Structure 1
C-alpha cells in the first residue's frame, strides 16, 4: 500500500464515524475545496477538485478526480495532478479542462514560493493520466505594468481558432481584476489588458463588496442568442487571504472588454458557496458546482478526517433581466426516498417528522407583513435548531437563516445569513435540502447555502410556523449515495484502462 493509500484509509476511517459528514453530497477523505476542470466526456461527467490526500488542511494541493454518469453517484479515480519539483512544487491550484486539437488539456495555477503562474498538463483520451508541459509556466509573470496582489485561476474559451483566457487578479490600491490573454496554441500568450476591473472602495463592508482580488472567475453567455443574451462573469471576492463571498456581473462582451450592467450576489450564504465553476453538458444545460466551506474549527476538521463539501449540481438559467435563476439539477430528485408529508403546511406533523437527510418543498403565499418560519435539525426542546425565516416586508420578500442556536458548540460559525428574494406578490417557492451539516436552500431561484453542526443526536426535527397566508408542504427523506471508500477507489482504479499511447501534443 502506498503512502497516499495508507493515509487515505486512516482518514476515511475517521470520516466514516463523523455524524456531520454529508451522505448525498460529494465528499472525500482529507481536504477538498474548489471544483475544477468540469467537463462531460464520452458519457461521463468529470469533476476535478482541489485536494490534499494527506490531511484535512489546505496544503500541497493536488487535483482529485471523480466521475459520474448521473451527477449523483461519484467514483473517485486516481489523482490527476500532484505537486512536482518545478513551478507547482507548493501546489497545483485551480484551473479548467479544454480540448485543443483533440488533446485534453488542463490549464492550472502552479504555486511556488508564494506566487502562482499558469501551467499546462496534457491528458490521455480517457482523462485519467496527465503529463505536465515541460516548459511550464506558460506565462512567466503577471503584467509588468500592474501592481498585482495575486494572479491565479483560469477561465478559457475559444473564438474561432483563437483561445481566450481570463486570469483572476487584484490591482493594489484599485480592486479585483479579470486579466485577458489570447493564444493560438495554449502555450504562447499575449496580454490584452484588463477585461474588467473592480473598485475596492465601493460597497465596502456589504455583501456586494467586490474585494481586493477576484478568484475563480467564470465567464459565459446565458440566455437566448441575440437581444436576449447576456454575458455573466462570476467571481469570488477575496481580501488578503480571507475568502469573502461569490458575486456575478451581468453585462456584455464588447471586443476585449466586459461592459457590466449590474452586480449581484450569487448565493446568500456568502463564503459557504465559494469558488464555483460551471460547464455546459451534452444537452446544452449550464451546470454549476461550488465549494461548501466548513464552519467549524480547524481542530474539529482534523479530528474528523475530512474537510469541504462539493455542492449539489445546480441548473443555472437566465431571467428576462439577465440575472441568474438557480435550482438543483433535476437529477437530484432521484435521491428522494419516501414521501413523509404532502399537504397543508399548518398540519405538518412535527412530532413524527424527523431526519438529517431531507428534501423540503414549500409553496408559500405571504400577505404583506406576514412571516413563515421553517426549522430544521431541531431538538425536541429546541435547544438546538436552525431556522429559516421568510418575511414579506414593505421592501419585498426577504429570506434569513438564523443559526444562533444551531449548535451548542461555541466554536462553530453561527453568523446570520440573509438577502432579498424576487417576488412581486408574496409567493415563494422554497426548497430546503438537509444533508447532515450541509444545507442548501433555494427561494424563487435564489440560493442560500450554509453549514450547521448540532451536537445532540436528537437534533433531527423539522417544523413550520406561519403568521398569515398559506403554505403547501412536501417532505421527502433522501437516499445516501455510495461512499467512496478506499477499497472502492482501488477497484475503480484497477478497472480503468491504463493507456500508454497518450496523444500528447
Structure 2
C-alpha cells in the first residue's frame, strides 16, 4: 500500500483514481481532475486552435494542500485530454505551492503569471512555455514582484489579471486593505519581469452590508478579471459605450463567499464603478471565475464548483471540485452580463424527450428520468404564477431538487430559486436555498438546466444559478408543477453522454 503523504490523506494515492471513478455523485460531462483536489481555473485560453484549461490541483488527496497546476486540452470545449502537470512547487518562491494565475501571449511566447506560495505568503512569479504549452520553465527572476506595496496593511495578496495595453503590460493582483475592503493593485511592465507599482485600481468598502449579504464585497478580492464587455479593448474609448467589467470573488478571513462584478469604466489607472452585480446566484458554488477571448471572438468563462459535503466525505470519495461547463459571456440590453453554455455542448445530447405546448396546471410527470440531463423550457408566466421543476427525484417524494420560477403580481422582474430542502437524505450536506432576480418581460422565460449527477447549472433568461446536490437514492425523475396561470410553450430534454476518454492517472 502506498504511504500516506498528509494527515488528511486517508485514501492512499494508488487508490485515489479508482475511488473517485466509483463515486456515483462524480460528474461525467463536466471536467474533473483525475482524482484528488481541484479548485480555480487558471490560464484558460485558446492557443493555435487548441483550448487549454489549467487548474489548481492536489493529487495527494481531496483537500487543499501543496498545489500544482493540472492541465487539460480540448479541440471543442467538450471533450478534454489530460496533459502532464504544468507547474510543480520547487525550491524558491513557490516551494509551498503554485497558486492561481493566467496565460498571456508575449510576442508568440506562451507565458504564465502565477502566485508562488512560500512561508504562508504569495508573490507573483513567471514561467515560459514550449510552443505546444506542454513544458514550462520558471523565470530566474522569480518572484517578479518582491513584496506587496510598502506601507499598506493588506489582508491577502494573490491571483492575477494581465493584459497588453499599447507598448506596456499591465497587471492586477487581488488583495484587500485592512479596515477598508477588497482591492486590486495595478502594476506596469515592459517585459513581464520588472514591474512598477501604479496604485490600487479601485477599493471596495467592506463596511457596506454584512458578510451574510449576497452582494457583500468582502475584505479581499480573489481572482480579479478585468475586460471590455463589448467592442474595443481595455484603455480605449468604446464606440458603442460598452462598459468595462471588473470581476472578483469576495473572500474574508479564509472563507470564500461569492463572485461579483462591477460595471464601469477603466481609464487613467483607475476603475470608476457604475453598478455592482451578482455574477452567479449560486454564491460560492461558482467561484474564482476566469475568462478569455477565443479565436471566434467569444468571451468564454469557467468557474470552480465547490463541494457542499463535509471534508471527511470528500476525502473518503477520493475527489473534490468540479470545473463549470464553459459559458459564453455577452452583454445584455440592460448593461449587465448574461451567460449561456457554449453551444458545442449540444453534441453530447442523446435520447430526446419533447412535450407539446400546453396550459400548465397541477403536476405533470414529464416522463424524463436520469442524472445526466440537458433540459430546455420556454414559458409564459402570468402575474402571480409559480413554476416548479423537480430534478433528481426519487419518485416517491423522499428526495428531489426543486427549481422555482415565480412572477410577481406586478413588475417585470421575477425570482429564480433553488430549493434543496429535500435534495438529499444525507443530513451532513449543504441544503441552503439559493435565489436571485430574473428579468421576464411580459412573463416570458427561457430556462436551461444542466444536471450532471451532483452538479447543477441553471440559466434563466441568461441569469445563472450554480449549485451542488447529493441525492442518496439514485433517482432521476423530472416533474413539472404550476401554481397560477402559466403556459408551457416548449419542453425538450436530452440525456447527456460521458466525456471520459478511458483510464486516467494522477500524473498524466
Aligning the two structures, in what range does the TM-score lie when normalised by the shorter sequence? Answer: over 0.9
How far the C-alpha of 1:145 sits from its partner, in A, is 2.4
- Provide the aligned length of Structure 1 versus Structure 2: 488
Q: Secondary structure at the match of 1:383?
A: coil
How far the C-alpha of 1:70 sits from its partner, in A, is 0.4
**Pair 1:129 & 2:147 matched:** no
Asked whether the equivalents of residues 364 and 480 of structure 2 are also in contact (C-alpha less than 8 Å), the reply is: no
Matches within 5 A, 1:310-329: 310-329=323-342
Distance, in Å, in 1 between the alignment partners of 2:67 and 2:290 is 18
Q: Using structure 2 for the length normalisation, give the TM-score.
A: 0.93
Aligned to 1:451: 468
Q: Using structure 1 for the length normalisation, give the TM-score.
A: 0.94
Distance, in Å, in 2 between the alignment partners of 1:484 and 1:281 is 28
Aligned to 1:20: 25
**Pair 1:365 & 2:365 matched:** no
Distance, in Å, in 1 between the alignment partners of 2:3 and 2:323 is 25
Q: Secondary structure at the match of 1:425?
A: helix
Aligned to 1:502: none
Q: Secondary structure at the match of 1:352?
A: strand
Q: Secondary structure at the match of 2:284?
A: helix
Counterpart among 261, 268, 284 of residue 274 in structure 2? 261
Could you list the per-position Cα deviations for residues 7-28 of structure 1 after superposition, in whole angstroms to 9, with x for gaps in the alignment? 6652110011101000100012
Distance, in Å, in 2 between the alignment partners of 1:123 and 1:337 is 39
Q: Secondary structure at the match of 2:76?
A: coil
Aligned to 1:96: 102
Distance, in Å, in 2 between the alignment partners of 1:486 and 1:405 is 34
Distance, in Å, in 2 between the alignment partners of 1:21 and 1:429 is 28
How far the C-alpha of 1:392 sits from its partner, in A, is 0.6
How far the C-alpha of 1:103 sits from its partner, in A, is 1.6
**Pair 1:466 & 2:482 matched:** yes
How far the C-alpha of 1:109 sits from its partner, in A, is 0.3
Distance, in Å, in 2 between the alignment partners of 1:136 and 1:8 is 31
Distance, in Å, in 2 between the alignment partners of 1:376 and 1:33 is 26
Distance, in Å, in 1 between the alignment partners of 2:115 and 2:502 is 27
After TM superposition, which residue ranges in structure 1, 4 or more long, deviate above 6 angstroms? none
Counterpart among 315, 319, 322 of residue 309 in structure 1? 322
How far the C-alpha of 1:119 sits from its partner, in A, is 0.5
Matches within 5 A, 1:60-459: 60-204=66-210, 205-224=212-231, 225-344=238-357, 346=360, 350=365, 352-393=367-408, 394=410, 396-457=413-474, 459=475
In structure 2, the gaps of 5 or more residues are: 5-10, 232-237
Q: Secondary structure at the match of 1:210?
A: coil
Distance, in Å, in 1 between the alignment partners of 2:430 and 2:107 is 47
In structure 1, the gaps of 5 or more residues are: 494-505
Asked whether the equivalents of residues 390 and 400 of structure 2 are also in contact (C-alpha less than 8 Å), the reply is: yes
Distance, in Å, in 1 between the alignment partners of 2:357 and 2:62 is 44
Distance, in Å, in 1 between the alignment partners of 2:402 and 2:345 is 23
